[in-house]
Every structure is written in structure tokens, then in C-alpha cells.
Amino acid sequence: MTFRIDVLTIFPEYLAPLGQSLLGKAAQRGLVTVGVHDLRQWTDDVHRTVDDAPYGGGPGMVMRPEPWGRALEAVRPPGIRLVVPTPAGRPFTQAVAAQWATEPGLVFACGRYEGIDQRVADWAAGAGPVSEVSIGDYVLAGGESAVLVMVEAVTRLIPGVVGNADSVEFDSHADGLLEGPSYTRPAAWRDLEVPPVLLSGDHAAIARWRRAQSLRRTADRRPDLLAALPDGALDAADRAA
Ligand code: 6GU
């Protein structure tokens, strides 16, 4: 059961990092397979045109639907989710990554310019789930770098891709809180000491300290995450921290 990722783009070389490091090893071990496809393969004119001016006027160019229709018919298996990166999308979160990691694979459609003709996503919804998603509240020139981000977030949740399952379970965001600080040897460095509880050997005390640090950091850096926790997520000890 290998997780299949296909990416459609007019800049296939931008996706070269998908062959590297964590994902490269997962691919070698047969856990993940990746295909990157040049959208221009599915153009039908000598200039290999993929874009045109927007109906109704306005700045920039819109990607024409015809190459996308042919490309998706060729590359996307029935029922496989189509992901369209766009700053106008729903937020891509750890919960979204976790859901996608349970599916058999994903197809990513990278838009450039002012995006892809909306009829592509609307038509594609007839053949399986379609997710128009944003990786944050800023504007990128195209979806390629967002795809690199999303592929990394999803593939590390696929069983066997990350060596230590605990490093996934205790991640920032896995429980809706930020991870607290980490330390290693030496115990004192340039007059700065590792918090003594971490050297105490008292595993219950260490777990309580880490939980408190996680809550403090979340309150300080991401109060929106604390406010979004479900009722009952915090106990009396948490509130005291
Ligand atoms: Cl997913 N795509 C683009 N083009 N810009 C973005 C984005 C995605 N997320 C935030 N900005």
C-alpha cells in the first residue's frame, strides 16, 4: 500500500526537492511514490499556451481550463483527492494533513498567475473530493512551494515514514498546543542552565513541567489556539500553569 502523490505544474523543476531527504528515503522504501508532470504536455497549440486574460477584466492572467481537464483525466485516478493551492482556500492545518494521510494518495494542481479557471475545480468535484487550500495568510507567486510544504506535512504522518512514532504524536499542534522548549547536553552552557527538573529523573514531574511550558508558550505566541481548544481540554493543573 504505497501512498501516491502526483503534482501538475508548469515549473516541474521547482518540485525537485520532493526527491530529497525524508521523502526520498520513503520513496526508496516504497512507502510513497511521487510523479511530477509538466502541464504543458496537455496543451494543443504551438506556443503551448496555458493562460489568458480574465473575463470581466482586471490584472494578471488566468490559467485556461482545457489543459487542466486533459491533464487531470490522464493523471488523477477516480476518487483521489485533488488539492488546489490558493491563497483564497480553506486553511491547511495539522488536522487536514492527518485526514489526507489516511487516503490512498493526492493530486496537486499548481496554479500560477491569478489562479486557475474556477470551472476546473468545479468539474473535478464530479470525480472525487476537491480541496482548495491556503497554507497561511500571505500571498505566494504560485502553488509549488505550498505543495512542498503540504507534501512534507502529510507524508511524515504516513506509518513508517518517520522512524519514531512518538516524535509525530508529541508534535506541536498534535494536541492543539505548541511544543515547549527542548534541551540537550551540556547541562550548563555559557552561564545558561538546563531546567533542573529535566535532570531529576522524575518522569511525572517532567511531564507536568512540559505540559505547563506548552501551555505558557501557546498562551504567549498563539492565544487563538488556546481559545479554540474543546471544552474539557484543560484541567485544573493546566489552568494553574
Ligand atoms: Cl496554497 N498558494 C498560493 N499561491 N499562495 C498562498 C497559498 C497557496 N497559501 C498562502 N498563500
156 is catalytic: yes
Q: Is the CB of 85 under 6 A from ligand 1?
A: yes
Ligand 1 centroid, distance to 150 Cα (angstroms): 11
Global pTM reads: 0.94
Minimum-distance ligand 1 atom for the alpha carbon of 89? 1
Give yes or no for a contact between 105 and 57, defined as CB atoms under 8 angstroms apart: no
**230 assigned to active site:** no
Which strand (E) or helix (H) includes residue 33?
A: strand 32-38
The Cα–Cα gap between 107 and 138 comes to: 23
- Calculate how far, in angstroms, residue 134's C-alpha sits from the geometric centre of ligand 1: 5
Residue-wise pLDDT tens digits, 176-208:
999 999 999 999 999 999 999 999 999 999 999
Question: How does DSSP assign 132-176, residue by residue?
Answer: EEESSSS--SSSHHHHHHHHHHHHTTSTTTSS-HHHHHTSTTTTS
C-alpha cell belonging to residue 26: 520513503
Cβ 76 vs Cβ 127: under 8 Å? yes
Cα 94 to chain centroid distance, Å, stands at 7
Identify the active-site residue in 38, 66, 103, 114: 114
pLDDT tens figures, 121-161: 999 999 999 999 999 999 999 999 999 999 999 999 999 88
What pLDDT score was predicted for residue 40?
A: 98
The pLDDT value recorded for residue 27 is 76
Q: What is the pLDDT of residue 23?
A: 77
Q: Which residues are documented as binding site for S-adenosyl-L-methionine? A: 111, 135-140
Worst-scoring range by mean pLDDT, 22-31, 67-76, 160-169, 201-210?
160-169
Give the active site residue among 171, 175, 179, 238: 171
The pair phi, psi for residue 81, each rounded to 5°, is -65, 135
Q: Ligand 1, from 90, 108, 134: best to mutate by most atoms within 8 Å of Cβ?
A: 134
Query: For residue range 27-47, what is the model confidence (pLDDT) as tens digits?
Result: 778 899 999 999 999 999 999
Radius of gyration of the chain (CA): 22
Ligand 1 in reach of 55 Cβ (< 6 A) = no
- Is 87 assigned a catalytic role? yes
- Is 114 annotated as catalytic? yes
- Name the active-site residue from 48, 156, 211, 217: 156
| Residue 115 beta carbon below 6 angstroms from any ligand 1 atom | no
